[in-house]
Structure 1
Amino acid sequence: MSVTDPESIDWNVRLDGLIFDFDDDDLHDQRHARPAKPEAMELELTVALGGRCQIGDYTSDPFDHLCVECLIEGYSEGASTLYRTAWHLDRHGYETSPTDPVHPVYHIHFGGNALKDMEEYGHHFFLDTPRIAHPPLDVVLGIDFVLSNYFPNRRTRLMSDYATYADIVRSAQRRVWRPYSHAAARWWQRSRQPAEWSGSAVWPQLVPLRAG
């Protein structure tokens, strides 16, 4: 089949349940965890995203939907209770679903869908807010996010010993984070050229500049 306009093609990717096991060194890094002394911990990463094909670098939002779920489960030393925590990052479809004025288009949020079926919440509230502005994550950046935050020593070894990994992450950052960063930076530019991706959609907390 001949495609005359590649940018008219939509794409979708889904990564289901990629498991990361914590070894003894990884668990030691969680020395401030509560309950203390976690053991037998694992992290499950799920990523679903899609967008429109584009030739060359993206200058606008590369995705039209995105959801990243990070679920961590494990036990505390000597206890039989299974503990769970989770993070959720998604793209709010502001084009079709207007919401409150400080709802970032890409935001990370504690909890998410992974904690909805818990029967016990202890002394915790799980609230809808805050939704913290965060750069979008594709599959590569989602994996690197997990390694950076939960397995930093492994990431350091990958970056130093495997040039291919660094190249893959660098390419993903350029493809995904470059347009996001430019959208935010344009907020402070007094250019009359129209922005393809609005800085206020990236960081809605930004206060408009004074005239003059």
Structure 2
Amino acid sequence: MSFRNERAKDLRQLSQVLTRVVGGDVNTSALESVISQLQNKEFIPVLKDGSTNENIWGYDIVNFKMPLDTLSHVKPQDITKGEVILNMKLRAKIEDWNTFRDPFIELAYNVMIKGVGLRTYHFGFHIDKHIGQADTKEPHPIYHLQYNFNPTKSNNPNLGDLFYIDTPRIMHKPIDFILGIGFLTSNFFPLAFESLKAEREYVKLQENYQHAIWKPYFHTLANQWKPFAPDNITWSPINDICPIFT
């Protein structure tokens, strides 16, 4: 419970920072049930196969919303406002936190972008963890980003001149809700992102979760070209490669 309480405390801190810095533009109420579940010793998240384990932690976030504030070059041109909607599921082993092992068992980070104009438009993408060996010809990076141009699952979506196929699956680093806030705001609400970067609590949370989640990912990648040493790292600054690093 101490581990789960720490994750709940971190989400509570982020919720408070979002409320103070961004205000009513984000619905932090979507985090309340998540925080309560993490603090409930009777709640154990269920895995895809239906099993449970007291050493597994995780959460489901339902309909977290924030404004779409990057409407430059938007098409169709009648769109006047937009919204970003996040639904996500995370399952992980407690013992793999802050190690060099893969921190997650399951991850589904599903984003839908809604634009409102003369009618409502949608597109989406997901970042998830590929589990198992699917019978497919396409490579599946274990963590990947994939676009979805029918996020409402309409039986007859209006795709216009769009050509939609199931690929590509673009290699992407793993992401939880805390790191995901940096990802979403930097891309879709940059004014909020700049304000958040000025908050000490937000920066510390980002540093802690980058250490726990991204460090093993990038160390594993870098090990492909071993040995690697600090003296060999001349491509800088790191923010040119990944702007949401803190």
TM-score by length of 1: 0.75
Aligned match of 1:195 = none
CA apart distance, 1:125: 2.1
2:67 pairs with 1:21: yes
Which range moved further: 115-124 or 65-74? 115-124
Q: 8 Å contact 2:146–2:168 — kept in the other structure?
A: yes
1:139 aligns with 2:180: no
One-letter identity of the residue aligned with 2:77: A
Give the distance between the partners of 2:220 and 2:201, measured in 1 at CA.
29
Relative to structure 1, the CA distance from residue 150 to residue 115 in structure 2 (aligned partners, 3 Å threshold; closer, same or farther) is same
Give the secondary-structure state (helix, strand or coil) at the position aligned to 1:155.
helix
Deviation string 1:42-77 (CA, Å, 9 cap, x unpaired) is 11011111111127622111111100011111223x
Change (3 A) 1:176 1:87: same
Give the match's secondary structure for 1:59: coil
Of residues 10, 26, 33, the one that matches 2:74 is 33
**Between 51-60 and 150-159, the greater mean CA deviation after superposition:** 51-60
* Offset at residue 131 of structure 1 (A): 0.4
Say if 2:207 is the partner of 1:166.
Answer: no
Q: Runs of at least 4 residues of structure 1 off by over 4 A? A: 96-101
Is it true that 1:105 corresponds to 2:142 in the alignment? yes
Root-mean-square deviation (CA, aligned residues, Å) is 2.4
- The farther-off stretch of 41-50 and 31-40 is 31-40
Provide the secondary structure at the position in 1 that maps to 2:110: strand
Partner of 1:49: 90
The equivalent of 2:57 in structure 1 is 11
The amino acid that maps onto 1:91 is K
Q: Which residue in the other structure is 1:182 paired with?
A: 219
1:82 is matched with 120
Q: Which runs of 5+ in 2 are unaligned?
A: 2-52, 229-246
Deviations 1:107-127 (A, max 9, x none): 001107724326222111221
SS in 2 for 1:117: coil
Count of residue pairs the alignment pairs up? 176
Gaps of 5+ in 1: 2-6, 192-212
How far is 1:190 from its partner?
A: 5.7
Q: Residues 98, 190 of structure 1: CA spacing in aligned structure 2 closer, same or farther, 3 A cutoff?
A: farther
Distance 1:56 1:65, change over 3 A: closer
Asked if the contact 1:69–1:114 (Cα under 8 Å) also holds between the matched residues in 2, the reply is: no
Distance, in Å, in 2 between the alignment partners of 1:40 and 1:32 is 13
* Equivalent position amino acid for 1:20 in 2: M
- 1:124 aligned partner: 162
Instruction: Find the aligned partners of 2:146 and 2:95 in 1 and give their Cα distance.
Output: 29
Secondary structure of the 2:140 match is coil
8 Å CA contact 2:110, 2:126 repeated in 1: yes
- State percent identity of aligned pairs: 30
